[in-house]
């Protein structure tokens, strides 16, 4: 026997019971972004590598170690997208969507990062991304946070997620802060772990979210970014907090929250849960006012977030907030000679009467017991059974599979439809 080939580590198949859950969650996500008046974007999964190195930053974990980069047949360096913001900005610029106009955009799809696979961390994962261009006030920051909060409420998990907020100030303020932070880190250099030592000179802000206990202890005395902010940056942050409070959205300020990518300024936020272990960040975002210009456009204010679908769905299934469901509602079967064409006609009748129901035709005949076993297996709600007698009477045997009750019902369209509708509670 030939050796079987398996999926790539960290890249998961979604099986029918998974996709039924995913579809329900995706429906809530789509409805919510639509209810805020946002428009969908669909970008390619592959982009030029330099889009990501320029947007995300050369010395970030994502670009340094996590990207799937390859040369195509013409020798161009391409990468599978590790996140959606860079591609969304590229597309918006390329098609003049953001030149002197505001845009509220969203997208959903797979992202790729070569990380160590574990619960909640995969090499192919999916994000819902939201990006807003051309608006600078804290009101839009509050709006996208409110949108995520609405999602948690609709999905019944608002009490499981905590909002952490921070501000990174503008690039001038951050530059002066970084100089002070580097001086502080250099003074404690020997006590830092290897990662923090390396980051001290490549990406010092990232040292702030180090998970190393000793580094955390040292950082207690580090200079605080907030003390380096000017009036404008402080006002933006305070106004955002006021807006969130007025919406009844609770938050905590986490001065160590810096986010992994280089392009953020002012507002940054994360929604975290303790229910998933180490991979507790379900959604993260913030402002990135410098990115559009960095990618060759005119300076444009921007804010957005990325929400990890695997982690969200893991949380929902762990808390039993969503369960797999069957795609079949109505099961049609028959016994006897030449019954197939009658079954097919009955299926067609049911599909046109119940457009949003799944109607499954049992193929291959069999005895009554076998047919009902199949109906049970596909978790249908109602079985329609045709036999010689029903054909003669122009009727069908209708069995409510939840109660076991069955009755011979006229095949006259309105009679049958209303009988089945009652069982389906339509």
Residues that bind ligand ATP (CB under 6 A): 83, 113, 115, 120-122, 125, 127, 260, 279, 281-284, 306, 308, 310-311
- Residue whose CB is less far from ligand ATP, 259 or 362: 259
**Minimum gap (Å) between residue 85 Cβ and ligand ATP:** 9
Q: In the chain, how long is the greatest CA-to-CA distance?
A: 94
**Minimum gap (Å) between residue 388 Cβ and ligand ATP:** 56
Residues 6+ apart with CB under 8 A from 190: none
**Minimum gap (Å) between residue 337 Cβ and ligand ATP:** 55
Q: Is 356 left (phi over 0), alpha (psi -120 to 50) or beta?
A: alpha
Q: Is 291 left (phi over 0), alpha (psi -120 to 50) or beta?
A: alpha
Helix (H, G, I), strand (E, B) or coil at 69: strand
Which strands sit side by side in the sheet containing 69-71, from one edge to the other? 46-48, 77-80, 69-71
**Minimum gap (Å) between residue 311 Cβ and ligand ATP:** 4
**Minimum gap (Å) between residue 61 Cβ and ligand ATP:** 7
- Residue whose CB is less far from ligand ATP, 285 or 334: 285
Residue 391: DSSP 8-state: H
In terms of DSSP bridges, do strands 330-334 and 382-386 run parallel, antiparallel, or are they unpaired?
parallel
Alpha-carbon gap, residue 42 to 102, rounded angstroms? 18
Q: How many helices (H) and strands (E) does the chain have?
A: 15, 16
Helix (H, G, I), strand (E, B) or coil at 373: helix
- Residue whose CB is less far from ligand ATP, 282 or 383: 282
Alpha-carbon gap, residue 147 to 125, rounded angstroms? 22
Give me the phi and psi of 301, to 5 degrees please.
-65, 145
Q: How far apart are the first and last CA of the chain?
A: 50
- Residue whose CB is less far from ligand ATP, 61 or 150: 61
**Minimum gap (Å) between residue 141 Cβ and ligand ATP:** 16
Q: Is 425 left (phi over 0), alpha (psi -120 to 50) or beta?
A: left
Give the up-direction half-sphere exposure of residue 53: CA atoms within 13 A in the CB hemisphere. 12
- Residue whose CB is less far from ligand ATP, 181 or 315: 315
- Residue whose CB is less far from ligand ATP, 125 or 228: 125
Residue nearest to ligand ATP (CB): 308
**Minimum gap (Å) between residue 283 Cβ and ligand ATP:** 6
69, 49 contact by CB (below 8 A): yes
**Minimum gap (Å) between residue 105 Cβ and ligand ATP:** 16
- Residue whose CB is less far from ligand ATP, 42 or 116: 116
- Residue whose CB is less far from ligand ATP, 294 or 417: 294
């Amino acid at each position: 026997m030939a050796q079987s080939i398996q999926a790539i580590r960290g890249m998961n198949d979604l099986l029918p019971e998974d996709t039924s859950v995913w579809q329900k969650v995706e429906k809530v996500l789509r409805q919510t972004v639509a209810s805020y008046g946002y428009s969908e974007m669909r970008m390619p999964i592959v982009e030029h590598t330099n889009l990501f190195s320029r947007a995300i930053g050369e010395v970030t974990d994502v670009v340094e170690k996590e990207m799937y980069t390859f040369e195509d047949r013409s020798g161009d360096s391409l990468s599978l997208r590790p996140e959606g913001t860079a591609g969304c900005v590229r597309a918006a610029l390329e098609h003049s969507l953001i030149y002197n106009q505001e845009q509220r955009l969203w997208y959903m799809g797979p992202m790729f990062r070569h990380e160590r696979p574990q619960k909640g961390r995969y090499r192919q994962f999916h994000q819902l991304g939201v990006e807003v261009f051309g608006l600078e006030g804290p009101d839009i920051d509050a709006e996208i946070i409110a949108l995520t909060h609405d999602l948690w409420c609709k999905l019944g998990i608002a009490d499981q997620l905590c909002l952490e907020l921070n501000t990174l100030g503008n690039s001038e303020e951050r530059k002066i802060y970084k100089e002070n932070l580097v001086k502080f880190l250099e003074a404690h250099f020997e006590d830092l772990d290897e990662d923090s030592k390396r980051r001290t000179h490549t990406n010092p802000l990232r040292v702030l979210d180090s998970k190393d206990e000793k580094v955390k202890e040292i950082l207690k005395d580090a200079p605080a970014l907030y003390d380096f902010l000017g009036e404008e940056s402080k006002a933006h942050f305070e106004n955002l907090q006021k807006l969130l409070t007025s919406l009844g959205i609770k938050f905590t300020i986490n001065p160590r929250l810096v986010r992994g990518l280089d392009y953020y300024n002012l507002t940054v936020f994360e929604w975290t849960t303790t229910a998933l272990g180490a991979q507790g960040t379900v959604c993260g975002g913030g402002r990135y006012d410098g990115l559009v210009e960095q990618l060759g456009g005119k300076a444009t204010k921007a804010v957005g977030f990325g929400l990890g679908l695997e982690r969200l769905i893991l949380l929902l299934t762990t808390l039993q907030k969503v369960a797999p469901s069957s795609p079949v509602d109505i099961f049609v079967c028959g016994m006897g000679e030449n019954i197939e064409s009658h079954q097919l006609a009955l299926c067609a009748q049911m599909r046109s009467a119940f457009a949003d129901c799944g109607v499954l035709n049992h193929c291959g005949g069999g005895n009554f017991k076998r047919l009902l076993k199949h109906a049970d297996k596909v978790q249908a709600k109602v079985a329609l059974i045709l036999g010689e007698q029903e054909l003669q009477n122009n009727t069908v045997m209708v069995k409510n599979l939840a109660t076991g009750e069955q009755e011979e019902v006229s095949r006259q369209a309105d009679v049958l439809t209303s009988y089945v509708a009652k069982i389906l509670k339509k």
